[in-house]
Amino acid sequence: MGPLRFFRDRRGVAAVEFALIAPVLILLYMGLAEVTMALMAERRAGHATAVVADLIAQDTLTTKAELSDTFAIAEEILAPFAGSGMSARVTAIRADANGSPKVVWSYGKGLSAYGKGATVTGLPANLMEPFDTLIMSEMNYSFNSTLNYALPSAMVFKEKYYLRPRKIDMVNCTDC
């Protein structure tokens, strides 16, 4: 086989093209799969945060044990993602006569509880009038990808949800 004939030979071109393009396409596919999983985890964390606030807002009286059970429900909502990446806090807030939001009680798992009487900052504008009450649910969820290609480090999703108590003016906690 002469040198000219070697350069004109087209057998195996498709295999060479596949060998060059396949790794790029596989990495792109894996990256998209990781991003999709991260978006699913973020949506589940948001849903779990809303469920915690909703369950507490429907109550009339709660305890630390009941709040722990509510956080366990939130971990189940996160499935199939690891519940170990979750830290959460639920807080009852009442606005004083000046409309300043103050903590009535707070309980956290992985997040420190706010001190009673502390002023709550970061609430959306015009959310509370004087003497209004709220249940605020917060969650931080640390998502670690199993593939670690496109997302080599943990992504932390921070969720916050506000609801007004439904059955009573203020949901109290007996031992918080």
Residue 4 lies in a domain: no
For residue 86, give the H/E element and its range: strand 86-95
Residue 128 lies in a domain: yes
pLDDT in tens, 5-48: 766 767 777 888 889 999 999 888 888 888 898 899 999 999 99
Cβ–Cβ < 8 Å for 85, 111:
no
Structure pTM?
0.81
Domain count, the chain: 1
Residue 2 lies in a domain: no
Alpha helices in 58-158 (DSSP H): 64-78
Mean pLDDT of 58-69: 95
- CA 23/CA 150 separation, integer angstroms: 14
83 band by pLDDT with thresholds 50, 70 and 90? confident
Residue 74 lies in a domain: yes
117 band by pLDDT with thresholds 50, 70 and 90? very high
Cβ–Cβ < 8 Å for 137, 106:
no
Residue 40 lies in a domain: yes
Owning domain of residue 104: 9-173
Mean pLDDT of 48-52: 96
- Which are the contacts of 65, defined by CB distance < 8 A and separation ≥ 6? none
Residue 163 lies in a domain: yes
